[in-house]
Amino acid sequence: MKKILFLTFFISVFSFISNGQITKNNWLVGGNGRLSSQKQTLNSSDIKGFNIDLSPNVGYFFIDKFAGGIKARLAFDKVEFNGGVSKTTQTGIGPFFRYYFLEQLNRINLFAEAAYQYLHNSGNAGSSNSSNTFTFSAGPVIYFNTSVGVELTANYEIFNNQSVNTKAKTFFLSIGFQIHLEKEKNY
pLDDT at residue number 4: 52
Phi, psi of 89 (to 5 degrees): -120, 135
> Cα dihedral sign for 50, 173, 164, 41?
positive
Percentage, residues of the chain above pLDDT 90: 47
Does 184 have pLDDT greater than 70?
A: no
Q: Is the pLDDT of residue 9 over 60?
A: no
pLDDT category, 3, cuts 50, 70, 90?
low
Over residues 66-77, the mean pLDDT reads 95
Residue 80 confidence class, pLDDT cut points 50, 70, 90: confident
Write down the pLDDT at residue 15: 40
Who's near 21: CB < 8 A, 6+ residues apart? 104, 105, 143, 146, 147, 180
Sign of CA dihedral 9, 14, 16, 21: positive
**Whole-structure pTM value:** 0.76
Secondary structure class of 174 (helix, strand, coil):
strand
